[in-house]
Amino acid sequence: MSKPVPWNPRASAAEFIATFALVFMGTVAITSSNVIIGYPASLIAIAFTHGLVISIMIYSIGHISGGHINPAVTIAMISRKKIDIQNGISYIICQLGGGIAAAALHAGLIPMGAGVNFGSNLPGQYNGVRFSDSTVLIVEMILTFFLVFVIFNTAVNDKAPKGWHGFAIGMTVAFDILAGGPITGAAMNPARAFGPAIISYMSGLENALQSHLMYWIGPISGGLIAAFVAKILNEDKD
C-alpha cells in the first residue's frame, strides 16, 4: 500500500495568490475601462489582460504548485493522477477563496464596478436576446477543452519544448476570450466565474448568478475530455 501524499500548504497558498491575481486584475481591467474611464473595454484588452496574468503567474508559481489557477484544471489533473485528491481539494478551495477575496476587494475599492457586475462572466446577447444555457455550457466546454489540452501538451508532457508552456497557456486564454468572450464571457474557470458572481449577488445584483451552473459544468467537463484526449494522443499509461 502506497504512503499517502502529505498536504502541501505552500502549494495551496500559491494557488490562492495566483487566482487572486487573475480575478482581481481581470475584473478591475473591465471596471476601469467601462466605468472609471467611461470607454467600453475592448475585447482585445480584456483577452490580453487575462492571458498575461495567467502566463506570468504560471512562470511565478509553476515550480511551487504546478500553476493550475483553475478548479477545472485541478480536476483534470486529479483524473490523470497528476495530483492526489487531498492536495487537489485544497487547491480548489484556495482557488475559489482567492477568487472571492479578489472580487470582494474589487467591490470594496471600486464600488461603482457594480455597473458591470464587478467583471462577472455572464451570457452575452444578440439583438436583445440572451444566449441560452445550453449555448453557454457548450461554448465553455469547448473553450476549456482547448485550454486544458494545451496545458497537458505543453506543461505536463515531458517531450514538449521547455520554457514555452506559460506563454502557450496564456495565449490560449487570450484567444479563447477573443472567440468566446461575447458569447459567455469566456470564464473557462469556475473560480474566475464564482468570486465575482457571489460578490455581485451579495451586492444586490440579482442577475449575477444567471446561468452560473453552466460555468461549472462546461469547464469541468471540457477539462476532463481534454485530459482524456491528451492521454490517448500521447499514449500515456497513467
Stretches where the chain sits below pLDDT 70 are 1-5, 35-41, 236-238
What is the residue type of 120? S
CB 62 within 8 A of CB 71: no
Q: Which CATH superfamily is domain 9-233 in?
A: Glycerol uptake facilitator protein. (1.20.1080.10)
The pLDDT tens digits of the residues spanning 51-73 come to: 999 999 999 999 999 999 999 99
The strand pairing partners of 126, in sequence order, are: 129
What does the domain layout of the chain look like in residue ranges? 9-233
How many residues does the structure list for the chain? 238
**In the chain, alpha helices (H):** 9-31, 43-65, 71-79, 85-109, 133-151, 165-184, 190-202, 214-234
CB 106 within 8 A of CB 118: yes
SS3 130: strand
